[in-house]
Amino acid sequence: MAMKTKTLILSGTAAIIAAVSGLAYAAGDGGTGDYEMVHKHWHFQGPFGTYDKAAAQRGYQVYREVCSSCHQLQHLSFRHLGDKGAPFYNKAYPNPNDNPLVKNFAADWSIEDVDTETGDIIERPGVPADKFPPIYPNVAAARASNGGGLPPDLSVIVSARGGGADYIHNLLVAYDTPVPEGVELTAGLHYNPVMEGGKIAMAAPLSEGLVEYADGTEATVEQMSTDVTEFLAWSADPKMEVRKSVGFMTMLYLLILAVLLWFSYKRVWRNVEH
């Protein structure tokens, strides 16, 4: 092999390695250094990974009963819960607006609307086409209710935080870490070693048995955290399953094409000396 090509390949490989390790660094865990992040194997990881639907369904329950008193899901409408690849997708209802579960979930929320006859602001039950409503009327109200802290929107939080699903899960389960000496907590702040600086304006949202799961799963903190994280991973990337299956079909197509091309190449050059 020519020297030039060799150098080119070597530097190419080096560049790829640098890029990959750079990415891994950028997606680092955050946190206060000495906290050991737990890395879970998530069902949705890998080229063929899918969302664990049962976990994501339980996760929605946790979101609704616990997190939704402070955190919005502004990028989602109720009907998204019943889309293909979503936790409550049902083949019998290809149009999620007809899915009875989705209708029930929507109706469980109160939506601010305008009475078309009087122009008055009214509250009505949600329908699948509605977006998840804001929790607070404005940022000032959100801060006032949370001791100055601002609960971020959770719809894309799994993509927004380095460490992704592992970060969210660790954040939720790390509250029971004893407060180390020298850490001063002012009113409204709680110790959480996963946060930069170890302080967070959110009190531990989960405690043993906080929700009662319809499927009988025991509601430990670990379980609720895993489930709500699975749900939030879906909300951050609702098209993942569709995308992966299209990717797989494309690879299959290219593979078959490559085999056919190989045989036609053989055939075309069959009688030529070479």
Question: Which among 222, 183, 221 is positioned nearest to 199, based on CA atoms?
Answer: 183
Q: Is 206 in the site for ligand HEC (CB under 6 A)?
A: yes
Q: Is 56 in the site for ligand HEC (CB under 6 A)?
A: no
Tell how strand 190-191 and strand 121-125 pair up. Answer: unpaired
Contact with ligand HEC (CB under 6 A) among 54, 107, 201, 240: 201
**Cα separation, 146 vs 125, whole angstroms:** 26
Question: H or E element: which one contains 199?
Answer: strand 199-200
DSSP label at residue 191: E
If you count them, how many residues does the chain have? 274
Q: Is 236 in the site for ligand HEC (CB under 6 A)?
A: no
- CB closer to ligand HEC out of 88 and 231: 231
* Minimum distance, C-beta of residue 255 to ligand HEC, in the bound complex (Å): 41
Token pair listed for 112: 């601010």
Stretch near ligand HEC under the rule CB under 6 A, chosen from 165-173, 233-241, 247-255, 264-272 = 165-173
Token pair listed for 113: 């609307």
Q: Is 219 in the site for ligand HEC (CB under 6 A)?
A: no
Q: Is 71 in the site for ligand HEC (CB under 6 A)?
A: yes
Q: Is 152 in the site for ligand HEC (CB under 6 A)?
A: yes
What is the DSSP secondary-structure string of 97-127? GG-HHHHHHHHTSEEEEE-TTT--EEEEE--
Question: Which among 66, 65, 70, 67 is positioned nearest to 143, based on CA atoms?
Answer: 70
CA distances from 75 to 80, 149, 246, 269 (A): 10, 21, 24, 56
Q: Is 161 in the site for ligand HEC (CB under 6 A)?
A: yes
Q: Is 74 in the site for ligand HEC (CB under 6 A)?
A: no
- CB closer to ligand HEC out of 201 and 240: 201
265: left (phi over 0), alpha (psi -120 to 50) or beta: alpha
Contact with ligand HEC (CB under 6 A) among 96, 151, 164, 193: 151
- Asked if residue 232 lies in contact with residue 63, where contact means CB atoms within 8 angstroms, the answer is yes
Token pair listed for 151: 């609960």
Q: Is 171 in the site for ligand HEC (CB under 6 A)?
A: yes
Which residue in this structure is represented by tokens 């063929």?
48
Contact with ligand HEC (CB under 6 A) among 69, 110, 159, 207: 69
Q: Is 211 in the site for ligand HEC (CB under 6 A)?
A: no
Stretch near ligand HEC under the rule CB under 6 A, chosen from 94-102, 143-151, 234-242, 263-271 = 143-151
Contact with ligand HEC (CB under 6 A) among 66, 111, 127, 204: 66
Stretch near ligand HEC under the rule CB under 6 A, chosen from 91-99, 194-202, 250-258, 261-269 = 194-202
Q: How many chain residues are in contact with ligand HEC, going by CB under 6 A?
A: 22
Contact with ligand HEC (CB under 6 A) among 31, 42, 44, 70: 70
- Which residues are at the interface with ligand HEC (CB under 6 A)? 62, 66-67, 69-71, 146, 149-152, 157, 161, 168, 171-172, 200-202, 205-206, 228
